[in-house]
Chains A and B, each alone.
Chain A
C-alpha cells in the first residue's frame, strides 16, 4: 500500500525552502541617499571642504528664482512688461487687470520669496556647521568670523529682498529652526533687524583677517576679502538706513562702502551667470524682438531725455501688443545669458549719498546728482535746489540709473508716491505689496 510519494530530492528542496524562510530575518541595510550629501552629515561631521561647498552653494542660491524678483518688482513698478503667451498672470494679476488681484499662492510672489529664504537656510546651516565643528576642525577665530560675516551679510541681504516684496506684511527674521520659526515682525522691525544683522556681519568681517578661508566667484571679484566684502555689507546698511529714513546713518555707512565718485558706476558684487558648461544662465534674459519679451514700459520711454545715454538700456523692436498692452522697445539691461545681476553697485551708492544729503547738505546732493548726470551725457543739474525738487531729481535719476534692477517700485513706495505710477488700462492697479505666501500663516 503505497500512498506516499516522497523522495530524498524533495527533502533537500524542503530544507532549501526552510533556509529561505530565514531570509526575512536578515537585516536590510540602510541605504544613504544616492543622490546627494545629507544635512545631518554636514551638521555633525563637516569637513573644511564642506564649509567651502556651503559658501559656494549659498552664492549659487542667491540666484534661486531671482528672475521672478525682477519680473515682479519691475512689472508692478512699471519698469517693464513681461509678454508671454504662456502665462496670463504677468499681464493680469501683477498689473491688477480688471478685478483680478494678487494670489497668495502665485508663483510671482512665492517663488522669489522662497528662493531668498532658501539662501538664508543655507547660511543658517553654514553657521551651525561652523559652530558645531569649529573645535574639531581647529578653525581660527578669524576664520569663524569670516564665515559668520559672510553668512550673516548674505542672510540680511536676502531678507531685505523678501521684505521689499512683503512690505507691511512683514517677514520672519528668526528662521534657524524650521520646526519652530520665529514670529513675523513689522516692516519697521524687519528693517531694524536686517540692519542689526548687517552691522553684526560688518563687525565680524572687521576681525576676519586679511583673506577669506573660501573662494568666491568672479561675481565677487573685487569683494572677495573680509575688508572688501565688508564694504559691500556697509553699502547694504546704507540702503537699509535710507529705507529707514535714517539719513545720517546712510551717510555714515555709505562712507564706509565702496563708493567711488570717479569710479566705474557698475562696480559692485554681482550674481554670476554664464552660458558655459554646468553654469546657471541669466533667466531674465530674453532674445530681442521675439514674441516672448520684456517690453520697456512706454512711460519710461516717453520720459527719457533725448541726450540720456541710458537709452541704451532699451532697444527698438517690432511693435508688439498683448492683453491690451503694447510697446516698441525691448529691455536690454540683461542682454545675454551671461549678464550679471548686481547685488548693489557704485551708481546706487552715489545716489544713496545724494538722497541722504538732501535736507542737510543740498550742495553735496547736487554734486552727486551731477556725477550721475555727467556720466550719462546730461550735463549739470540746473533745477531748483530745495529739498522737494532735489528728491524729485534723485528719484528721476534712480529711475533711469537703476532701471530694471528692482528699485522703482520700492523707491516710489517709500516716498508715498505709488499713486504716481501709470495705469495702462482702465481697472489696473498698482499693488503696494505682495500677499504673504499661502503657507506662512
Chain B
C-alpha cells in the first residue's frame, strides 16, 4: 500500500502531509434508531478528530473502525438532532436514539465550492432558511418571492405586481453603480441564468422615447421559473468575505439553493392541493367629480363644454365608473397542485417532485401558469464512489398585461390615470369598445384584446461525482467532479391587434405583433480535490484545490411586425417587419485553493484564493485574484468557559474579495445597423467601449459574535460589516459632442457598512405546545467614497421629477430633485432609496395538532419617486385630487398643489416608502392519525400573503421599480401593475 502511495503525482503530493503510523484500533458496532425504535438508514457517523466515518445500512446498523483506545462518535442525520457518544475499546454494541427536530446550530452550511462546514464553526454570518420556511407557510408565487423578510441583510423588492414575478435583490447594499448588483444563483451546483429579457413592448409604449432611454418593458427575471416547492434549503452568501471563492461573479453575493433529495427508507408520497384567491393589495380609489370641480379654474375639463355634457349624461344614466376597480378588480383564482414521491434504499435514493400551478392576476386575462417536474437521484456505487444527479424540466407561461411607463398613453396604467370616471369605456353588446376620448387607449379594451406573454421551456440538469481516492485513519483525499447545464427557450409574444383604439383606423402602426425567441445555454464544470488530515494533537486540516469553467451563450431574436393583415398575428402576415438580434457569449475559467485549520472546534481558520479570467475582460487571459481569510473562535469549547450559563460564545472575523464583471459588450466600440431606403448602413454606437476593462473589486471585512444560552434555546448573533467596492465601472457620461453618450471607465469606489442582528428563541417546547420566535434587524449605509468623474444624476427621468445622484461623499442611492435652497449642483436631496433599517419577526407555534406561522416585515424609511401620482395629477383623476392636506397655506387642493410644484419643488412626488407587512401567515390543522389507516398525515390549512399592509405611500405599493432590476433605478414607479394579496386553502396528505 505504501508503495502505491508514492505514485501519486507530486502536484497533489506536495499538498499532503503524510499521516503518522497508528498505534492501536478497535471496531465499534451498533444500531441507530429514531424515537419509535425504527432503524434509521443513512445516518452519518464520524469519529471526531479523524477522517474515519461510516453510514448506517438499511436496518440502521453500522460498524466503524477507530484508532486508539477511545473516541467520540458524532451521529448526524438531516432532520434530527446531532448525537454524540463516547466509546472505548471495551464498549458494548451501541444503541443510539436520535431525536427528531434540529436546532439551527446543527445545520451544515455550504461554504466551499466542494465542502461544507458546521454552522457552529462558521466564521461568516451565512443566512440559511429551510424548506419549511420557503414553501411551508404560504404559497410563494416564485422562488424569490419566498425570501422576503427572511434574511438579514437582504433587500428584496418586487419590480411590479405582474404575474410571473420580476424581483430584484440587494445583498448588504448596493454593490455596483452601472453593473448588476444581482446575486449569483446556484442550484445544486448549476449556475442558473436570472436574466430579464424584454419582450419588445417599446415599439408600442415608446417608453424609451422621452426622458429615459432605458427598457421599461419590465420582464420577469428567470429565477421565477424555479419551483420553490422543490427547495430543501437556501443559503445566502451576502458579501465577499463569504463568497470570495466564487470570484468574479460574486460581488452581488451568492444564493445557493439545494433541492430536496430522497432518503432511504419507506417511500413517501405527499400530495398537496391549494385553492385561493388574489386581489389588489391597496386600491387607491378614484376622484369624485362634481360640476363645480369640473369647471374649476385650471380644470382640463373646463375648456370644452363637451366634458360637462358627458358628466351630466353619465350622472343621469348612473354611469359614473370606478375604473380602478374595473381594471384591477379581478378576483383571481389560484390553483396549486403538488405531488412528491421520495424514498430509496441504502444505495439509491430518489426524489420526484411535480407541480402544477395556475394563477390568475388581478387584471382581466393576466395570469401565471407553470408545470414543473424534478427527478433527483443519488447512487452509491461502492464505498468509495457515489454520484448524484438532478434534473428539472419547467414550462411556465405568464400573461403580464401592459403597464409601466410609456410615452404614448397606450399602457393600461397610464391610460387609466388620464381617464375620468364619467368617461364611457365599456363594451357594447357586440363586444366593441368605445374610444377613450381622454387617452390614446381604452384600457378595458387593451386588457381584453392584447397579449403580453412570456413562455419558457427550461431544462436544468446537474451531476456530482464524489470519489474517495483514499482514506487512512488520519488522512483522506476526495475527488469531486461537478457539472451543470441550464438551457431554456423563452418565447415572448406581444400582440396589439389592429382592432384596438390606438391601432385601428390607420392609427399608430395598424396592429403590432412582436415575437421574441431567446435561447440560453449556461454550462459549468468543475473539479475539486479535498485533502483532509487529522493530527494527533486535535488539529485538523482540510485543503481544497479546484478548477472551474463556465460558459454562457444567449441569443435573442426579436421580430416586430406591424401593419398587420386583418386579425393575423404571424410575423409574415404584416406589411412591415423588422428583426433584431442580440447575443451574449462569455467564457470564464478559474481555480481556487483553500486551507482550513480546525483546532478541536475551538479555533477554525481558513485562508484561500481564487483566480479568474474571462472573455468579458479587456485582457481575456489576465488572472484576477480574490483572496479570503477567516477565523472563528468558539470560546465555549475552551475549558474555562464550559459549563457556564452561556452554551455558545463564538467570536468570528472574515475577510474576502470578489469581483463583478462589466456588462457584456463594455469592451467593444461597435457599430449598430441602420437601413435607409433598403440599403444597410453602419452607425457608430453611443457607447465608447473600453478595451482595457476589468472587473469591479469588492473587499469585505465582517466580524461578529454568536451567543447561545439556555442550552442554545436562545441564540443571538450580531454582525458588523464593511464592504467596499473599488474600480467601480461607470458608464460615465461623456460630452455628447464626442458623438458618444457613455464610456465605460473604472472610476468610482463605494462603501457599505451595516449591522445585522438576529435573535432566535425557543420560547416553549413541550409535547403539546411549541413556540419559536425569531427577530431580525438589519441596516446598511452606503457612501460613494471616490468618484473620478463629475457627479451626475441617473436612474430616473429628469432631475425635477426625482433621480439618483452619484456624488462623492454621498449615498449612491440618494434621491435628488429641484427645490428651495439647492446645493452646489443646483439640486436638493429629498431622501434615499436605502431604508433606515429593516426588521422581521417570525413565529412558529404548534399547539397539539395546530400549526401557526407568521412573518411580519417592517421596512423603515427609504424613499421612492412616485410618478404614478404625477400622471394621475396631470390627468386630474387622482383619488386625493380634491383633498386639502398638502398645501401649508391651505389655498390649493392636493392635486393642484403637487402639479404647481412640478419643476419648482420635487418634494410632493418623492415619498416615504416605509411599510409594515404581514408577509406570510399560515395556519394548519393535522387531522388525528387514528382517522385513517392508510394515510400518514392529513393536514388542512389556510395561508395568506401580504394580508396586512401598513404604509402612507400614495400609490398601490411602496415597493416598485419601473426600470426592472437595474440597480440604481429601483424605487421609481410609473403606473405599474399593482401588487396583490392572496389567500389560499390547503389540503396536504402524506402516504
Contact = CB atoms under 8 A, between A and B. Distances in A.
Interface in B642-686: 665, 668-686
Contact of A440 (B384, B588, B735, B792): B735
Interface in B559-574: 562-563
B283 to A, nearest CB: 22
Contacts of B740: 118, 121, 178
Interface stretch (A273-281, A350-358, A415-423): A273-281
Interface string A82-98: 00111111001100011
A17 B903 CA distance: 65
A28 to B, nearest CB: 5
B680 A31 contact: no
Given A36-B670, A39-B684, A56-B681, A86 B210 contact: yes
Nearest to B480: A17
A26 interface: yes
A56 B479 contact: no
Contacts of A57: 671, 673-674, 681-684
B583 A35 contact: yes
Given A56-B676, A121-B740, A291-B439, A18 B681 contact: no
B484 to A, nearest CB: 16
A6 B470 contact: yes
Contacts of B22: 3
A89 B211 CA distance: 9
Contacts of B8: 11, 14
A155 to B, nearest CB: 11
Interface stretch (B81-89, B298-306, B692-700, B916-924): B298-306
B592 to A, nearest CB: 10
Nearest to A177: B738
Given A5-B470, A98-B904, A321-B300, A34 B384 contact: no
A343 to B, nearest CB: 14
A60 B300 contact: no
A120 B683 CA distance: 11
Contacts of A322: 300
Interface stretch (B191-199, B310-318, B867-875): B867-875
Interface in A275-315: 275-281, 283, 287, 290-292
A37 interface: yes
B12 interface: yes
Contact of A219 (B417, B676, B738): B676
Contact of B408 (A29, A36, A218, A292): A292
B627 interface: no
Interface in A86-131: 86-89, 92-93, 97-101, 103, 105-107, 110, 113-114, 117-118, 120-122, 124-125
A388 interface: no
B904 A28 contact: no
Contacts of A326: 303-304
Contacts of A280: 674-676
A135 interface: no
A interface, size bucket: 35 or more
B620 A30 contact: yes
A59 interface: yes
B383 interface: yes
A93 B360 CA distance: 42
A4 interface: yes
Contacts of B611: 24
Interface string B401-419: 0000111110000100110
B473 A86 contact: no
Contacts of A291: 409, 418, 437-440
Interface string B537-550: 00000000101010
A30 B734 CA distance: 27
Interface stretch (B144-152, B234-242, B261-269, B793-801): B793-801
B507 A437 contact: no
Contacts of A162: 737
A319 interface: yes
A87 B589 CA distance: 47
Interface string B853-870: 000000000000000001
Contacts of B680: 53, 56
Given A84-B407, A84-B409, A86-B406, A17 B529 contact: yes
Nearest to A120: B739
Contacts of A13: 467, 469, 479
Contact of A103 (B468, B591, B798): B798
B734 A36 contact: no
Contact of A125 (B576, B684, B735): B684
A160 interface: no
A440 B674 contact: no
Nearest to A6: B470
B688 interface: yes
- Give the size range of B's interface with the partner: 35 or more
B640 interface: no
Contacts of A42: 671, 682
A88 B688 CA distance: 32
B578 interface: yes
A54 interface: yes
Contacts of A101: 903
A18 B623 CA distance: 20
A386 interface: no
B712 interface: no
Contacts of A87: 210-211, 407, 797
A376 interface: no
Nearest to A271: B676
Interface string B1-21: 110110111011000000000
A85 B682 contact: no
Contact of A437 (B405, B736, B739, B904): B736
B939 interface: no
Nearest to B797: A87
Nearest to B588: A28
Given A61-B674, A120-B739, A125-B684, A287 B507 contact: yes
A276 B303 contact: no
A182 to B, nearest CB: 9
A253 interface: no
A88 B12 contact: no
Most buried by A among B2, B473, B674, B676: B676
A121 B875 CA distance: 41
A121 to B, nearest CB: 2
B677 to A, nearest CB: 3
A26 B611 CA distance: 13
A3 B472 contact: yes
B279 to A, nearest CB: 28
Contacts of A283: 209
A337 B203 CA distance: 14
Interface of A: 2-7, 9-11, 13-18, 20-21, 23-24, 26-31, 33-40, 42, 50, 53-61, 64, 84-89, 92-93, 97-101, 103, 105-107, 110, 113-114, 117-118, 120-122, 124-125, 162, 171-172, 175, 178, 181, 215, 217-219, 272, 274-281, 283, 287, 290-292, 318-324, 326, 337, 437-440
Closest 9 CB pairs of A and B: A121-B739, A56-B681, A100-B903, A60-B674, A57-B681, A217-B677, A321-B303, A178-B738, A36-B670
Given A217-B679, A291-B409, 4 more contacts: A85-B414, A124-B739, A275-B576, A319-B303
Interface of B: 1-2, 4-5, 7-9, 11-12, 22, 25, 67, 209-211, 298, 300, 303-304, 306, 383-385, 405-409, 414, 417-418, 437-440, 467-473, 477, 479, 481, 502, 506-509, 527, 529, 545, 547, 549, 562-563, 575-578, 581-591, 611, 613-615, 620-621, 623, 665, 668-686, 688, 733-741, 790, 792-793, 797-800, 870-871, 874-875, 900, 902-904
22 contacts: A4-B471, A5-B383, A6-B4, A24-B613, A31-B586, A36-B671, A39-B670, A54-B681, A85-B418, A120-B739, A122-B739, A162-B737, A178-B688, A219-B677, A274-B677, A275-B509, A276-B575, A279-B675, A279-B677, A290-B507, A291-B438, A439-B735
